[in-house]
Chains A and B, each alone.
Chain A
Amino acid sequence: MTEMSNLGQIAAQAATDQAQSLPALPSSLWVYLSATPLFWLTATLVVWLLANAAARRANGHPLVNPVLISVVVIGTGLTLGGVAYPAYFEGAQFIHFLLGPATVALAVPLVRQIKLVAANLLPMLAALAAGSVTAVLSVLALGALFGFPEALTVSMAPKSSTAGVAMAISKGLGGDPGLTAVFVILTGITGAVIVTGLMNRMRITDYAARGFAAGLASHGIGTARAFQVDPVAGLFAGIAMALNALVTALIVPLFL
Protein backbone atom coordinates (compact mmCIF):
# COMPACT_ATOMS: atom_id res chain seq x y z
CA MET A 1 0.00 0.00 0.00
CA THR A 2 2.79 2.40 0.96
CA GLU A 3 4.64 1.32 -2.15
CA MET A 4 1.62 2.20 -4.22
CA SER A 5 1.38 5.67 -2.74
CA ASN A 6 5.11 6.10 -3.16
CA LEU A 7 4.75 5.27 -6.82
CA GLY A 8 1.87 7.69 -7.05
CA GLN A 9 3.97 10.39 -5.44
CA ILE A 10 6.84 9.73 -7.80
CA ALA A 11 4.50 9.87 -10.77
CA ALA A 12 2.98 13.11 -9.54
CA GLN A 13 6.42 14.55 -8.88
CA ALA A 14 7.51 13.55 -12.37
CA ALA A 15 4.43 15.20 -13.84
CA THR A 16 5.10 18.48 -12.03
CA ASP A 17 8.79 18.30 -13.04
CA GLN A 18 7.72 17.91 -16.60
CA ALA A 19 5.19 20.74 -16.31
CA GLN A 20 7.86 22.98 -14.82
CA SER A 21 10.34 22.17 -17.55
CA LEU A 22 7.80 22.56 -20.33
CA PRO A 23 8.24 26.30 -20.89
CA ALA A 24 11.97 25.71 -21.29
CA LEU A 25 11.40 22.93 -23.81
CA PRO A 26 13.11 24.47 -26.83
CA SER A 27 16.40 24.94 -25.00
CA SER A 28 16.23 21.62 -23.18
CA LEU A 29 15.34 19.93 -26.44
CA TRP A 30 18.41 21.53 -28.01
CA VAL A 31 20.57 20.34 -25.11
CA TYR A 32 19.14 16.86 -25.56
CA LEU A 33 19.33 16.66 -29.35
CA SER A 34 22.69 18.38 -29.80
CA ALA A 35 24.23 15.71 -27.56
CA THR A 36 22.98 12.80 -29.69
CA PRO A 37 24.99 11.37 -32.60
CA LEU A 38 21.76 11.25 -34.61
CA PHE A 39 21.40 15.02 -34.73
CA TRP A 40 24.88 15.85 -36.03
CA LEU A 41 24.92 12.93 -38.44
CA THR A 42 21.62 14.08 -39.93
CA ALA A 43 22.69 17.72 -39.90
CA THR A 44 25.88 16.89 -41.83
CA LEU A 45 23.91 14.95 -44.44
CA VAL A 46 21.28 17.68 -44.84
CA VAL A 47 23.85 20.49 -45.10
CA TRP A 48 25.84 18.46 -47.63
CA LEU A 49 22.75 17.78 -49.76
CA LEU A 50 21.88 21.48 -49.80
CA ALA A 51 25.50 22.49 -50.56
CA ASN A 52 25.66 19.89 -53.32
CA ALA A 53 22.37 21.14 -54.79
CA ALA A 54 23.78 24.68 -54.76
CA ALA A 55 26.95 23.45 -56.50
CA ARG A 56 24.89 21.71 -59.17
CA ARG A 57 22.72 24.76 -59.67
CA ALA A 58 25.92 26.79 -60.16
CA ASN A 59 27.00 24.24 -62.81
CA GLY A 60 29.89 23.10 -60.64
CA HIS A 61 31.40 26.58 -60.41
CA PRO A 62 34.64 26.13 -58.44
CA LEU A 63 33.78 28.81 -55.88
CA VAL A 64 30.53 27.05 -54.97
CA ASN A 65 32.52 24.19 -53.46
CA PRO A 66 30.24 21.87 -51.46
CA VAL A 67 32.98 20.90 -48.98
CA LEU A 68 33.76 24.55 -48.27
CA ILE A 69 30.09 25.49 -47.89
CA SER A 70 29.36 22.53 -45.59
CA VAL A 71 32.37 23.22 -43.37
CA VAL A 72 31.47 26.91 -43.04
CA VAL A 73 27.77 26.27 -42.35
CA ILE A 74 28.32 23.49 -39.80
CA GLY A 75 31.29 25.27 -38.20
CA THR A 76 29.23 28.43 -37.77
CA GLY A 77 26.30 26.42 -36.39
CA LEU A 78 28.51 24.70 -33.81
CA THR A 79 30.10 27.97 -32.75
CA LEU A 80 26.77 29.78 -32.41
CA GLY A 81 25.11 26.82 -30.68
CA GLY A 82 27.98 26.45 -28.21
CA VAL A 83 28.60 22.84 -29.24
CA ALA A 84 32.12 21.45 -28.83
CA TYR A 85 33.76 19.70 -31.78
CA PRO A 86 34.03 16.30 -30.02
CA ALA A 87 30.24 16.32 -29.47
CA TYR A 88 29.77 17.01 -33.19
CA PHE A 89 32.23 14.29 -34.15
CA GLU A 90 30.26 11.72 -32.10
CA GLY A 91 27.72 11.85 -34.89
CA ALA A 92 29.89 12.80 -37.83
CA GLN A 93 32.33 9.95 -37.22
CA PHE A 94 30.04 7.60 -39.13
CA ILE A 95 30.67 9.65 -42.27
CA HIS A 96 34.36 10.11 -41.45
CA PHE A 97 34.71 6.35 -41.14
CA LEU A 98 33.87 5.90 -44.82
CA LEU A 99 37.17 7.56 -45.84
CA GLY A 100 38.90 4.17 -45.46
CA PRO A 101 36.52 2.16 -47.68
CA ALA A 102 36.41 5.08 -50.16
CA THR A 103 40.19 4.83 -50.52
CA VAL A 104 39.92 1.09 -51.16
CA ALA A 105 37.10 1.86 -53.64
CA LEU A 106 39.59 3.69 -55.89
CA ALA A 107 40.68 0.21 -57.00
CA VAL A 108 37.48 -0.07 -59.06
CA PRO A 109 38.09 2.86 -61.47
CA LEU A 110 41.79 1.94 -61.45
CA VAL A 111 41.01 -1.53 -62.80
CA ARG A 112 38.45 -0.18 -65.28
CA GLN A 113 41.00 2.28 -66.70
CA ILE A 114 44.12 0.16 -66.22
CA LYS A 115 45.25 0.67 -69.83
CA LEU A 116 44.99 4.45 -69.55
CA VAL A 117 46.86 4.39 -66.25
CA ALA A 118 49.59 2.15 -67.70
CA ALA A 119 49.92 4.46 -70.71
CA ASN A 120 50.52 7.40 -68.36
CA LEU A 121 52.96 5.66 -66.04
CA LEU A 122 56.03 7.69 -66.97
CA PRO A 123 54.29 11.11 -66.85
CA MET A 124 52.81 10.15 -63.46
CA LEU A 125 56.22 9.30 -62.02
CA ALA A 126 57.73 12.54 -63.35
CA ALA A 127 54.84 14.60 -61.98
CA LEU A 128 54.99 12.78 -58.65
CA ALA A 129 58.70 13.47 -58.22
CA ALA A 130 58.48 17.12 -59.28
CA GLY A 131 55.20 17.86 -57.50
CA SER A 132 55.85 16.31 -54.11
CA VAL A 133 59.26 18.00 -53.82
CA THR A 134 57.75 21.34 -54.89
CA ALA A 135 54.91 21.04 -52.34
CA VAL A 136 57.41 20.72 -49.48
CA LEU A 137 60.19 23.04 -50.70
CA SER A 138 57.78 25.87 -51.51
CA VAL A 139 56.55 25.84 -47.90
CA LEU A 140 60.12 25.96 -46.58
CA ALA A 141 60.95 28.87 -48.89
CA LEU A 142 57.79 30.82 -48.01
CA GLY A 143 58.28 30.07 -44.32
CA ALA A 144 61.79 31.54 -44.49
CA LEU A 145 60.50 34.52 -46.46
CA PHE A 146 57.73 35.30 -43.97
CA GLY A 147 59.88 34.46 -40.94
CA PHE A 148 57.68 31.62 -39.63
CA PRO A 149 58.87 29.91 -36.44
CA GLU A 150 60.32 26.50 -37.22
CA ALA A 151 57.48 24.59 -35.52
CA LEU A 152 55.02 26.36 -37.80
CA THR A 153 56.98 25.53 -40.96
CA VAL A 154 57.30 21.89 -39.87
CA SER A 155 53.53 21.75 -39.25
CA MET A 156 52.86 23.15 -42.71
CA ALA A 157 55.42 21.17 -44.75
CA PRO A 158 53.31 18.01 -45.31
CA LYS A 159 50.10 19.97 -46.03
CA SER A 160 49.58 18.53 -49.54
CA SER A 161 49.39 14.94 -48.32
CA THR A 162 46.26 13.37 -46.88
CA ALA A 163 45.38 14.37 -43.29
CA GLY A 164 46.28 11.18 -41.42
CA VAL A 165 49.71 10.90 -43.04
CA ALA A 166 50.44 14.65 -42.75
CA MET A 167 49.64 14.65 -39.03
CA ALA A 168 51.90 11.66 -38.42
CA ILE A 169 54.79 13.34 -40.30
CA SER A 170 54.30 16.61 -38.42
CA LYS A 171 54.17 14.88 -35.05
CA GLY A 172 57.30 12.88 -35.79
CA LEU A 173 59.29 16.04 -36.57
CA GLY A 174 58.11 18.15 -33.63
CA GLY A 175 55.25 19.97 -35.34
CA ASP A 176 51.71 20.42 -34.04
CA PRO A 177 49.44 17.75 -35.61
CA GLY A 178 46.26 19.71 -34.84
CA LEU A 179 47.64 22.71 -36.68
CA THR A 180 48.78 20.44 -39.52
CA ALA A 181 45.21 19.17 -39.87
CA VAL A 182 44.03 22.77 -40.30
CA PHE A 183 46.68 23.44 -42.97
CA VAL A 184 45.76 20.21 -44.76
CA ILE A 185 42.09 21.23 -44.89
CA LEU A 186 42.90 24.77 -46.04
CA THR A 187 45.22 23.42 -48.74
CA GLY A 188 42.59 20.96 -49.92
CA ILE A 189 39.89 23.61 -50.20
CA THR A 190 42.29 26.10 -51.83
CA GLY A 191 43.35 23.57 -54.45
CA ALA A 192 39.78 22.43 -55.11
CA VAL A 193 38.65 26.02 -55.64
CA ILE A 194 41.52 27.18 -57.90
CA VAL A 195 42.46 24.07 -59.90
CA THR A 196 39.82 24.34 -62.64
CA GLY A 197 40.51 27.99 -63.47
CA LEU A 198 44.27 27.50 -63.29
CA MET A 199 44.26 24.47 -65.60
CA ASN A 200 41.96 26.21 -68.08
CA ARG A 201 44.28 29.22 -68.11
CA MET A 202 47.27 26.93 -68.72
CA ARG A 203 45.27 25.31 -71.55
CA ILE A 204 45.69 21.81 -70.12
CA THR A 205 43.08 19.60 -71.79
CA ASP A 206 44.39 16.22 -70.61
CA TYR A 207 42.11 15.18 -67.73
CA ALA A 208 44.71 12.68 -66.54
CA ALA A 209 47.23 15.51 -66.05
CA ARG A 210 44.69 17.90 -64.52
CA GLY A 211 43.42 15.30 -62.08
CA PHE A 212 46.90 14.17 -61.11
CA ALA A 213 47.87 17.74 -60.23
CA ALA A 214 44.66 18.24 -58.21
CA GLY A 215 45.18 15.08 -56.17
CA LEU A 216 48.88 15.69 -55.60
CA ALA A 217 48.56 19.32 -54.49
CA SER A 218 45.30 19.06 -52.56
CA HIS A 219 44.80 15.38 -51.63
CA GLY A 220 41.26 14.08 -51.04
CA ILE A 221 39.42 17.39 -51.26
CA GLY A 222 41.11 18.03 -54.62
CA THR A 223 40.22 14.46 -55.60
CA ALA A 224 36.58 15.06 -54.69
CA ARG A 225 36.63 18.15 -56.91
CA ALA A 226 38.23 16.12 -59.72
CA PHE A 227 35.50 13.46 -59.51
CA GLN A 228 32.97 16.29 -59.68
CA VAL A 229 34.50 17.43 -63.00
CA ASP A 230 35.44 14.18 -64.77
CA PRO A 231 35.77 10.49 -63.80
CA VAL A 232 39.23 10.15 -65.43
CA ALA A 233 40.42 13.28 -63.59
CA GLY A 234 39.04 11.76 -60.37
CA LEU A 235 40.89 8.49 -60.88
CA PHE A 236 44.25 10.18 -61.55
CA ALA A 237 43.68 12.52 -58.60
CA GLY A 238 43.09 9.51 -56.36
CA ILE A 239 46.28 7.83 -57.60
CA ALA A 240 48.26 11.04 -57.06
CA MET A 241 46.84 11.42 -53.56
CA ALA A 242 47.86 7.89 -52.58
CA LEU A 243 51.34 8.17 -54.12
CA ASN A 244 52.02 11.62 -52.70
CA ALA A 245 51.14 10.44 -49.20
CA LEU A 246 53.91 7.85 -49.49
CA VAL A 247 56.48 10.17 -51.07
CA THR A 248 55.82 13.07 -48.69
CA ALA A 249 56.40 10.79 -45.71
CA LEU A 250 59.77 9.88 -47.24
CA ILE A 251 60.99 13.34 -48.29
CA VAL A 252 59.85 15.73 -45.53
CA PRO A 253 62.38 14.32 -43.02
CA LEU A 254 65.12 14.77 -45.65
CA PHE A 255 64.47 18.50 -46.02
CA LEU A 256 63.92 19.33 -42.34
Chain B
Amino acid sequence: MIQGITWLLGFQLVGETLSYASGGHVPGPVIGLALLALFLLATRRFSAAAAMEQSTGKVADGLLANLGILFVPAGVGIIQHLDLVISMGLPILVAILVSTVVTLVVTVWAFTLAKHLEQQWRRKP
Protein backbone atom coordinates (compact mmCIF):
# COMPACT_ATOMS: atom_id res chain seq x y z
CA MET B 1 0.00 0.00 0.00
CA ILE B 2 2.76 2.43 1.02
CA GLN B 3 4.51 1.64 -2.26
CA GLY B 4 1.42 2.49 -4.29
CA ILE B 5 0.80 5.75 -2.40
CA THR B 6 4.43 6.70 -2.90
CA TRP B 7 4.23 6.17 -6.66
CA LEU B 8 1.07 8.29 -6.92
CA LEU B 9 2.46 11.10 -4.75
CA GLY B 10 5.80 10.91 -6.56
CA PHE B 11 4.18 11.38 -9.96
CA GLN B 12 2.00 14.18 -8.58
CA LEU B 13 5.12 15.86 -7.23
CA VAL B 14 6.85 15.64 -10.62
CA GLY B 15 3.63 16.95 -12.21
CA GLU B 16 3.44 19.89 -9.79
CA THR B 17 7.09 20.69 -10.49
CA LEU B 18 6.56 20.71 -14.25
CA SER B 19 3.31 22.67 -13.84
CA TYR B 20 5.12 25.32 -11.82
CA ALA B 21 8.01 25.46 -14.25
CA SER B 22 5.67 25.83 -17.24
CA GLY B 23 3.63 28.70 -15.80
CA GLY B 24 0.85 26.65 -14.21
CA HIS B 25 -1.47 26.40 -17.22
CA VAL B 26 -1.95 22.66 -16.76
CA PRO B 27 -2.68 21.46 -13.18
CA GLY B 28 0.11 19.38 -11.62
CA PRO B 29 -2.04 16.27 -10.96
CA VAL B 30 -3.12 16.20 -14.63
CA ILE B 31 0.54 16.23 -15.74
CA GLY B 32 1.19 13.52 -13.13
CA LEU B 33 -1.67 11.46 -14.60
CA ALA B 34 -0.20 11.69 -18.12
CA LEU B 35 3.32 10.86 -16.93
CA LEU B 36 2.20 7.87 -14.85
CA ALA B 37 0.15 6.53 -17.78
CA LEU B 38 3.12 6.90 -20.14
CA PHE B 39 5.43 5.31 -17.58
CA LEU B 40 3.11 2.34 -17.02
CA LEU B 41 2.68 1.84 -20.77
CA ALA B 42 6.41 2.06 -21.42
CA THR B 43 7.40 -0.37 -18.67
CA ARG B 44 4.54 -2.83 -19.14
CA ARG B 45 6.69 -5.31 -21.07
CA PHE B 46 9.22 -5.69 -18.27
CA SER B 47 8.42 -8.13 -15.49
CA ALA B 48 10.11 -5.88 -12.93
CA ALA B 49 7.30 -3.33 -13.46
CA ALA B 50 4.58 -5.79 -12.47
CA ALA B 51 5.04 -5.10 -8.75
CA MET B 52 4.71 -1.37 -9.32
CA GLU B 53 1.62 -1.78 -11.45
CA GLN B 54 0.08 -4.01 -8.81
CA SER B 55 0.80 -1.75 -5.83
CA THR B 56 -0.24 1.40 -7.69
CA GLY B 57 -3.33 -0.36 -9.01
CA LYS B 58 -4.48 -1.38 -5.55
CA VAL B 59 -4.32 2.17 -4.17
CA ALA B 60 -5.77 3.65 -7.38
CA ASP B 61 -8.75 1.29 -7.32
CA GLY B 62 -9.39 2.14 -3.67
CA LEU B 63 -9.25 5.88 -4.28
CA LEU B 64 -11.40 5.82 -7.41
CA ALA B 65 -14.03 3.55 -5.86
CA ASN B 66 -14.47 6.15 -3.10
CA LEU B 67 -13.94 9.24 -5.21
CA GLY B 68 -17.11 10.89 -3.90
CA ILE B 69 -15.86 11.44 -0.36
CA LEU B 70 -12.95 13.50 -1.67
CA PHE B 71 -15.44 16.18 -2.81
CA VAL B 72 -17.24 16.42 0.53
CA PRO B 73 -14.81 18.88 2.23
CA ALA B 74 -15.00 21.32 -0.71
CA GLY B 75 -18.73 20.71 -1.09
CA VAL B 76 -19.42 21.66 2.52
CA GLY B 77 -17.80 25.03 1.68
CA ILE B 78 -21.12 25.93 0.11
CA ILE B 79 -22.35 26.93 3.60
CA GLN B 80 -20.14 30.01 3.40
CA HIS B 81 -22.19 31.37 0.50
CA LEU B 82 -25.55 29.87 1.31
CA ASP B 83 -27.30 33.19 2.00
CA LEU B 84 -26.10 34.51 -1.35
CA VAL B 85 -27.43 31.48 -3.23
CA ILE B 86 -30.75 31.72 -1.40
CA SER B 87 -31.08 35.46 -2.02
CA MET B 88 -30.46 35.03 -5.75
CA GLY B 89 -32.73 32.06 -5.63
CA LEU B 90 -34.46 30.25 -8.39
CA PRO B 91 -32.95 31.74 -11.59
CA ILE B 92 -29.50 30.53 -10.47
CA LEU B 93 -30.68 27.01 -9.82
CA VAL B 94 -32.68 26.93 -13.07
CA ALA B 95 -29.67 28.21 -15.03
CA ILE B 96 -27.42 25.52 -13.55
CA LEU B 97 -29.98 22.77 -14.12
CA VAL B 98 -30.78 23.75 -17.72
CA SER B 99 -27.13 24.30 -18.65
CA THR B 100 -26.16 20.93 -17.15
CA VAL B 101 -28.94 19.06 -18.98
CA VAL B 102 -28.08 20.75 -22.31
CA THR B 103 -24.37 20.04 -21.83
CA LEU B 104 -25.00 16.37 -21.03
CA VAL B 105 -27.28 15.93 -24.04
CA VAL B 106 -25.01 17.73 -26.54
CA THR B 107 -21.91 15.90 -25.28
CA VAL B 108 -23.38 12.41 -25.45
CA TRP B 109 -25.03 13.22 -28.78
CA ALA B 110 -21.72 14.42 -30.30
CA PHE B 111 -19.97 11.32 -28.94
CA THR B 112 -22.43 8.82 -30.40
CA LEU B 113 -22.80 10.71 -33.69
CA ALA B 114 -19.03 10.82 -34.22
CA LYS B 115 -18.75 7.13 -33.36
CA HIS B 116 -21.55 6.29 -35.79
CA LEU B 117 -20.00 8.34 -38.61
CA GLU B 118 -16.57 6.84 -37.96
CA GLN B 119 -17.95 3.31 -38.11
CA GLN B 120 -19.82 4.04 -41.35
CA TRP B 121 -16.73 5.56 -42.90
CA ARG B 122 -14.65 2.53 -41.92
CA ARG B 123 -17.14 0.14 -43.42
CA LYS B 124 -16.80 1.76 -46.82
CA PRO B 125 -14.15 0.13 -49.02
Contact = CB atoms under 8 A, between A and B. Distances in A.
Given A92-B72, A198-B104, A105 B91 contact: no
Interface of A: 44-45, 47-48, 52, 66-67, 70-71, 74-75, 78-79, 85, 88-89, 92-93, 95-96, 98-112, 114, 120, 122-127, 129-131, 134-135, 138-139, 142-143, 146, 148, 152, 156, 159-160, 163-165, 178-179, 181-183, 185-191, 194-195, 198-199, 202, 204, 206, 208-210, 212-214, 216-218, 220-221, 223-225, 227-228, 234, 238, 240, 242, 245-246, 249
B37 A134 contact: no
Interface string B3-15: 0010011011001
Contacts of B85: 182, 186
Contacts of A165: 27
A88 B79 CA distance: 11
A89 B37 CA distance: 32
A212 B8 contact: no
Contact of A224 (B44, B68, B82, B103): B68
Contacts of B27: 103, 164-165, 245
Given A100-B29, A131-B106, A234-B64, A111 B40 contact: yes
Contact of A48 (B36, B69, B110): B69
Contact of A213 (B41, B61, B108, B115): B108
B17 interface: no
Interface residues of B, number: 75
A253 to B, nearest CB: 12
A186 B104 contact: no
B106 to A, nearest CB: 4
